[in-house]
Structure 1
Amino acid sequence: MTEMFGTVSTTLSDGGALTILIGYVLLVIVSARMGILSWRASRRAGRPQIGLWRYFLFVGLAGSITGFVGLLELLTAMSGMTAVLLLGVAVLLALTMREAYYTTTLSNTETERFGQFQFRQAGEILLVVVVPIAAIGVFVTNSPVITGAVAIAALIAIGYGVYFQQKRIREPATRGTLIDTLLRQSLPVLVFTGAAAVVPLFEQMEDGAAISYAATTAFVLLSVGFLLSISLKLSQHLTTR
């Protein structure tokens, strides 16, 4: 069994490798289910909320791809790409939080402060662009610079998403709705996936690789738990409609 897990076996026991393997398998399945349910919800939603449901769909798709690539990294000599994709999930969730704020509050802030909107949009584009650039960087040279850039972008994504989530929940009209429930359960996923993109920085420390894998495993499993909760809530909503 040790040989099956390739390079991971040098830093993890068979039990640890099996745990993270199960985590990635569950991430593929649960994320795919959430994406399908989000697609179904988008077909029934009114025009103002279609964009928000599509963000949830993209999160599900990105989560499935991340889990699949995580499995490939466990079974081959690949490394570094899973952290980049986890960053992608975190960025999508942060943008979901932003979209939810402007959709559910019907805020006119963007039109009232056009300069601020342009600045924020440029920041979002930069944050999104980091993901493909980092992915290319991993293929070319998986250097500590790439790892550091991914970690910084992940921390920014976490802060960005938390900021808009806090702004949204201050609005009384947004509380108690299905979207409110889903976003509250999505916030931990944002934090955990973002944190999982940061922990590879610790691989430079003594025993850092084992610490990084253990932390990534915990964050992935926690994310799966909340994604499963989101899927169950969505399934219940679609069944009762």
Structure 2
Amino acid sequence: MSPASVAPAVLEFRERLKERYLRFFRDMGVDLKTGDYPACRPADRKFAGYPYIGSMYGQKGHLKLLVVGLDIGADGLLPGSFESFEQRRRAIERKPVEQHNPHIAGTYFTALKYTGPKYEWETFEDDPRTCQRILKEEAPQGAPGLPPTNPLSRIALTNFYKWVTKGKKTMSGADNRIHFNRELEIKLFQDEVHILKPDVVVFQSTMFESAFKEILGPCAVAYSYVLKHPSIWGHRQPKVIVRPVAQHPPA
């Protein structure tokens, strides 16, 4: 799929988000080309990349789901650059689903649960395998239970923490879960929500449990849920990773 085949609404989302991010870069003093943030000490952080927007996000017939992760983890690009909208989309949507890590594999089944149709989710609701194992075993065979279109194409995914340590190659660690200007960064996140207009927001970590309603603040979101992160060992089955530990409105 080329950028030209991405739904027009998605291109509009990209343009509005890019405009908002560029304003954030100017306010923070982030290099508009490289993403470097020289004001931090030590000066080893950069903006990680634009959010992911699936090519079918906002399509009629599916709820708009915004998934909120913690941080991007690793710096996957060459020095002097950060991930564009299209690079991000290709890295998630165009990648064979059986090759995804536990995080994105779990996000795949979160999309099944929260964007519909219901029968897609019910096929795997009680499957005892991990989300990643299901995709590894079923996708290469073209299993009839998997939906014909990638459910990841129907969602948007952003990270609450926007920074990455330059050159970081491992996904583990919490060193990038930091705000350098909490007020500006929270406002950026809230504006992302305003622009994307999701029907449902899912936070992927129990770290959000006590603050997710405050974080969303004035955003008009019908439903929001806090889930366990899908990469947590021992909690990677479909039914487990979509089970809310907190939600609004309450059940």
Q: TM-score, normalised by structure 1?
A: 0.23
Larger Rg: 1
**Structure with the largest fraction of strand:** 2
Q: TM-score, normalised by structure 2?
A: 0.22
**Structure with the largest fraction of helix:** 1
